[in-house]
């Protein structure tokens, strides 16, 4: 397990404040940010998001409906749109994409945890303590 994966899952589970996640993300170089967004997309895909996670993710991420990631996630199949969001290149769009992907991961993984992991599971990220 990598530090990056722990950070992303702690953000999605509310074990770290989003402000800390944004500061961490902003400190990364463009190539590292792209990698993080691709990993977030992969985590979202694994958690199996549904169409309703798009609008709710936008709300939770604090994005306006006119922001590019918000527009993308509400157009077409969510799995395809997550890839487009993860591929955004302008710096300000990347931060919005980061916030939105974390929110979608929180929704989809939370649902998975409730439905399939409530009585225990082998997912290491469901056993995070929130400690730094």
Mean pLDDT of the region 113-130: 62
* Residues 91, 48 contacting (CB under 8 angstroms): no
Whole-structure pTM value:
0.87
Q: Is residue 128 part of a domain?
A: no
Q: What is the mean pLDDT of residues 116-120?
A: 66
Residue 102 lies in a domain: yes
53 part of a folded domain: yes
Q: Is residue 124 part of a domain?
A: no
In a domain, 10, yes or no: yes
Residue 129 counted as domain residue: no
Helix (H, G, I), strand (E, B) or coil at 60: helix
Q: Which residues of 33-51 are buried (b: 16+ CB within 10 A; e: fewer)?
A: bbebbebbbebbeebebee
Question: Which structural domain, as residue segments, surrounds residue 62?
Answer: 3-115
pLDDT (0 to 100) of residue 122: 54
Tell me what percent of the residues of the chain surpass a pLDDT of 90: 68
Asked if the model's pLDDT at residue 89 lies above 70, the reply is: yes
Q: What angle do CA 18, 119, 105 make, to 5 degrees?
A: 25
| CA-only gyration radius of the chain, Å | 14
CA distances from 1 to 4, 7, 44, 124 (A): 8, 11, 17, 9
Contacts of 68 (CB under 8 A, 6+ apart): 88, 93, 96
Least confident window among 21-25, 32-36, 61-65, 111-115? 111-115
Domain contains 111? yes
Mean pLDDT of 45-73: 95
Number of domains in the chain: 1
The answer as to whether 125 is a domain residue is no
What is the overall mean pLDDT for the chain? 88
């Amino acid at each position: 397990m990598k530090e990056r994966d722990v950070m992303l899952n702690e953000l999605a589970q509310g074990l770290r404040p989003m402000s800390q996640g944004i500061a961490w993300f902003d400190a990364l170089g463009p190539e590292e940010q792209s990698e993080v967004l691709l990993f977030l997309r992969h985590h979202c895909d694994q958690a199996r998001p549904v169409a309703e996670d798009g609008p709710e993710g936008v709300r939770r991420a604090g994005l306006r409906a006119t922001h590019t990631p918000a527009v993308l996630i509400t157009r077409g199949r969510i799995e395809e749109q997550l890839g487009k969001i993860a591929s955004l290149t302008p710096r300000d769009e990347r931060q919005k994409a980061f916030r939105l992907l974390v929110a979608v991961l929180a929704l989809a993984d939370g649902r998975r945890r409730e439905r399939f992991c409530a009585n225990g599971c082998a997912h290491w990220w469901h056993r995070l303590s929130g400690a730094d």
